[in-house]
Structure 1
Amino acid sequence: MLINIDPLLSPDLLHVLRAMGHGDEIAIVDANFPGTTNARRLVRLDGISVTEATRAILTVLPLDDFVDVPVFTMEVVGSPEEVPPAVAELRALVGERGACGTLERHAFYARARDCFAIVQTGETRLYGNIILKKGVVRS
């Protein structure tokens, strides 16, 4: 156990987050996402929602403030302006930390394939997917 570390941050996930460098990206995805197919490194957080996982990750991961948009969610197929409940929660969670953009489904998949790692959650709500770009850790 560690002091002041969210218990949702497993040893494997902490290792991934620590190994990431500035500009690396991590995808936190729902249970329907083809994580095993697309991941360079896959960390599973079964039974955890995407918002719980993202909240925990953001306690230790700064967002990149050198880019205009350090966060992306997936657009609804056929209705890109629609904001599903999971996406609304993720946007609220990110808040003022950085701008949140959207990506078309296949563009999101392609970007997730290039991510340093994918965290597969147990999220059952559709479109519960987000990509975060790591920023600089300043002392």
Structure 2
Amino acid sequence: MLTSELLHPTILRALANCGHGDKILITDGNYPLDSDTNEKTEKIYLGLKPGLPKVTDVLATLKSQINFEKAEVMTPGPGEQPKIYEEFKEILGVDDLSKLGRQEFYDACKKADNLKLGINTGEVRTFANILLTVGVR
């Protein structure tokens, strides 16, 4: 019996297959996971209902299992940034996130041959998408 926080077998398998530099995408419920990732990406739809699970729930659980060296977010543009960014920084223990414009973010996810895992959640907050690069221990 597993004793870690993460119990989802497909996510566990995908994480085990990740190496340094591979990417993992966690998205809100609005993200077009099928069309804005590539065919090599393992796609998991966790959305149970609006708001469950939240992107931050998934991020915290993944962070308990694997290290990340970079985090990129989809930004709405100049001006006020989504409040969820502060939660991302707190969970990851970082001071800053790399910001990509909306189309730039979609393109990065489509073109990344090393995007191993895409997890779609029930998150209802907009711009709650994060692209993570797997680090070393």
Q: Return the TM-score normalized by structure 2.
A: 0.84
Contact 1:51-1:90 at 8 Å conserved across structures: yes
* Aligned match of 2:105: 108
* Aligned match of 1:67: none
1:35 counterpart (33, 36, 41): 33
Describe how 1:90-101 pairs up with structure 2 within 5 A: 90-96=88-94, 99-101=96-98
Describe how 1:41-56 pairs up with structure 2 within 5 A: 41-46=42-47, 47-56=52-61
- Gaps spanning 5+ residues in structure 1: where? 65-69
1:19 counterpart (17, 20, 34): 17
1:61 counterpart (63, 66, 91): 66
RMSD: 1.6
SS of the residue 2:5 aligns to: coil
Q: How many residues align?
A: 127
Structure number having the greater strand percentage: 2
- Gaps spanning 5+ residues in structure 2: where? none
Aligned-partner residue type, residue 134 of structure 1: V
Structure number having the greater helix percentage: 1
* Aligned match of 2:119: 119
Moved over 4 A (4+): none
SS of the residue 1:111 aligns to: helix
Q: Return the TM-score normalized by structure 1.
A: 0.83
Aligned-partner residue type, residue 105 of structure 1: R
